[in-house]
Amino acid sequence: MRNTLIFGAAIGLAVGAYFGLLKNDLPAQTTTVSALELTEIGTRGEEAFNGTCAACHGVNLVGTNNGPPLLHQFYVPGHHGDMSIVLAVKQGSRQHHWRFGDMPAQEHITDAELTSIIAYVREVQRANGFN
Ligand code: HEC
């Protein structure tokens, strides 16, 4: 199961990097997603993230054709603090760093889900050296 996940992440990363190159003329992502043990809240966050955010930000945050990777220097806590995640989810985000278009507000996400999503995003970022 874990291997399948990692394999899936590698494919996602390759595809994301490919489209990232096509769409953004940015260097391909060189991140590899390491296996990690999530905390309890992080595990809940992963579920919520995969249900909503992964459609654009990718499983394991690697990005997709529809949205940027959150495993990126732009999104480390010192650059995009937790409040910027809250604001992006509640109000959406205008296209500014990339060329994927605007992020629509995700109004169905509850505050509890949002708290767990933030924990999840930070845990995966930390495990991959984005901190
Ligand atoms: C329909 C696609 C889509 C979905 C769904 C989506 N996002 Fe986004 N998100 C984007 C795009 C595109 C951007 C990049 C905007 C830019 O900087 O150009 C973005 C940017 C962000 C940012 C950075 C905001 C900033 O201040 O620059 C955060 C944080 C974020 N998304 C978190 C999330 C979370 C958490 C979820 C799930 C609850 C989510 N997104 C769902 C498309 C999406």
Using a 6 Å CB cutoff, which residues line ligand 1?
52-53, 55-57, 66-68, 80, 84-85, 88-89, 93, 95-98, 100-101, 103-104, 106, 109, 117
Q: Which domain holds residue 42?
A: 2-127
- Give the CATH number for residue 42: 1.10.760
Give which of 44, 33, 39 is closest to 130, Cα–Cα: 33
CB count in 10 Å sphere of residue 34: 12
Give tens-digit pLDDT for 42-86. Answer: 999 999 999 999 999 999 999 999 999 999 999 999 999 999 999
Pocket test for ligand 1, best of 56, 72, 106 (most atoms within 8 A of CB): 56
Take residue 47 and report the two structure tokens written for it. Answer: 């579920």
The number of distinct structural domains making up the chain is 1
Give tens-digit pLDDT for 84-95. Answer: 999 999 999 999
